[in-house]
């Protein structure tokens, strides 16, 4: 049997109430770059904009948002040396910084914040290999 595998992540779409505000947050806090805006020509189900953030395609669409917060989240990888820089950006933008869950040594550090549409965004200094190694050390 010839098995096909997923090639990678295509994009992430977030539903937002205000394209302008979310775009400013992406650019100011996450260093994103806007690469498309639908404007008057709408090809999808709602007005939308596309951003590149860390090589990822992030789409935002203006539509009815979720009224509750969950732990579902998108995590972007940052370097440990940039941790304080991003902490400052989050606070300076007026976002509510959430304390990280308790971490074990070696799995990296995280900054969490909700945008005003209740999306939880994480900035994390570790990689999958770091976390697996940390868990393996504790399991040994």
Catalytic residue among 3, 20, 27, 48: 48
The contacts of residue 29 (CB under 8 Å, 6+ apart) are 86, 89, 90, 93, 95
Q: In which residue are the tokens 């953030």 written? A: 53
Do the bridges between strand 73-77 and strand 120-124 make them parallel or antiparallel, or are there none, so unpaired? parallel
Whether 20 sits among the annotated catalytic residues: the reply is no
d(CA 117, CA 108): 27
Q: In which residue are the tokens 């992030």 written? A: 58
Backbone angles phi, psi at 130, to 5 degrees: -60, -45
Closest CA to 115 of 15, 5, 43, 38: 15
Active-site residue list: 48
């Amino acid at each position: 049997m010839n098995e096909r595998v997923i090639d990678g992540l295509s994009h992430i779409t977030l539903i937002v109430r205000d394209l302008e505000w979310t775009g400013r947050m992406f650019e100011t806090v996450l260093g994103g770059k806007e690469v498309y805006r639908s404007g008057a020509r709408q090809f999808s189900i709602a007005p939308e904009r596309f951003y590149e953030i860390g090589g990822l395609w992030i789409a935002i669409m203006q539509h009815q948002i979720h009224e509750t917060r969950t732990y579902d989240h998108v995590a972007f990888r940052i370097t440990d040396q940039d941790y304080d820089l991003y902490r400052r950006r989050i606070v300076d933008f007026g976002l509510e910084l959430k304390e990280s869950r308790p971490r074990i040594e070696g799995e990296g550090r995280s900054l969490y914040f909700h945008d005003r549409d209740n999306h939880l965004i994480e900035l994390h200094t570790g990689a999958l290999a770091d976390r697996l190694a940390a868990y393996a050390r504790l399991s040994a």
